[in-house]
Amino acid sequence: MSGIVECVPNVSEGRRWDAIDRMADAIRSVDGVRLLDRTSDVDHNRSVFTFAGPPDAVEAAAHALVDAAFREIDLRTHRGEHPRIGAVDVVPFVPLAGTTMEECVAIAHRFGRAVALRHQVPVYFYAKAATRPERVRLPDIRKPQYEGLAGVIATTHVPDAGPSKVHPTAGAMVAGARPPLIAFNIELDTTDVKVAKRIAKEIRESSGGLPAVQALGFELTDPPRAQVSMNLLDTSQTSLARAWHEVETRASADGVRILRGELIGLMPLDAAVQVTADALKLDGLSRDRIIEAHFIE
């Protein structure tokens, strides 16, 4: 298999910088893999790593990260704002240059089954790698969280691979294959988390809101403020600019202004071009109007 694959694991640790450094070093230890980004959030108590390279090397780096994370993280003492069911909560593989979605599905299945066997951790497959329709959406799998998973693992949450028993420290893991998504947060100038939760409910697709948008409302500290946290699954359906506009409109109706936006991980060039086109009303702006894009294969 040739080409380039991206992997964007989310791990349940965002506060202990030494532990996060060791996980990043585990990724870097694999030849041929480039660690493109690492983003950690104290309130969510979560870190997102973005790395890419040839498929075999990326799969090896994902295993190296799992080994390191399972040594570092004990979910019995983990607390954070973000929902999670595992120390390594979700591991998506994303096809880039010269790689197909079908190849990434095969990687996700092979990787997930290997982790399940090696570590005796229950594993679920989601998105394009889902083996059943009710597991396409990550929030549906993660709904019981680590604390509630044991109560449903024999019924609605029988694993796709591994034991039907929650690992005491590592919990469970979700692996999958998906197109590029944008993790995008908007912080509000209010400490009233009810405002953020209401806006999130109104804009997410599952509640009849914006297409291809997942959203939750969170309460953050240092300084205290509320946050609308979003995953934009397909910016051809809902752009960053539209997501911002919908949040801003609803917040303004409550007399609340936006403090700032926050990008978690990386985003595709075309999405950035789209934001510029929307903001400046530049009809027909595309990547071929960007100087640097002419030097990108």
Reduced to 3 states, what is the DSSP secondary structure of residue 71?
helix
5-177 and 182-295, same CATH topology: no
Given the DSSP bridges, would you call strands 88-95 and 173-177 parallel, antiparallel or unpaired? Answer: parallel
Given the DSSP bridges, would you call strands 5-7 and 46-53 parallel, antiparallel or unpaired? Answer: antiparallel
pLDDT computed for residue 297 by the predictor: 60
**Integer CA distances (angstroms), 85 to 100, 148, 280, in order:** 28, 9, 41
What is the CA 208 to chain-centroid distance, rounded? 22
DSSP secondary-structure letter at 292?
G
φ, ψ for residue 66 (rounded to 5)?
Answer: -60, -45
Distance in angstroms (rounded) separating the CA atoms of residues 187 and 247: 10
Whether residue 54 has a cis bond before it, omega within 30° of 0 = no
φ, ψ for residue 222 (rounded to 5)?
Answer: 55, 65
- At 261-287, the pLDDT tens digits run 999 989 988 889 999 998 888 988 888
Alpha-carbon torsion 81, 85, 87, 92, what sign? negative
Low-confidence ranges of the chain (pLDDT < 50): none
Tell me which residues are annotated as active site.
82
Q: Domain extents for the chain?
A: 5-177, 182-295
DSSP for 155-179, please give it: TTT--SBS-SS-BTTTB-EEEEE--
- At 33-90, the pLDDT tens digits run 999 999 999 999 999 999 999 999 999 999 999 999 999 999 999 999 999 999 999 9
Assigned CATH class of 5-177: alpha beta
DSSP for 77-125, please give it: G---SS--SBSEEEEEEEE-TT--HHHHHHHHHHHHHHHHHHH---EEE
CB-side exposure of 173: number of CA atoms within 13 Å? Answer: 36
CB-side exposure of 138: number of CA atoms within 13 Å? Answer: 24
Distance in angstroms (rounded) separating the CA atoms of residues 262 and 45: 16
Q: Which residue has the tokens 């939750």?
A: 216
Given the DSSP bridges, would you call strands 173-177 and 213-220 parallel, antiparallel or unpaired? Answer: unpaired
Neighbours of 29 (CB within 10 A): 13
Given the DSSP bridges, would you call strands 34-41 and 88-95 parallel, antiparallel or unpaired? Answer: unpaired
Reduced to 3 states, what is the DSSP secondary structure of residue 112?
helix
User: Helical H runs in 4-52?
Assistant: 17-28
What is the CA 165 to chain-centroid distance, rounded? 24
Distance in angstroms (rounded) separating the CA atoms of residues 49 and 69: 12
Assigned CATH class of 182-295: alpha beta
Distance in angstroms (rounded) separating the CA atoms of residues 99 and 45: 32
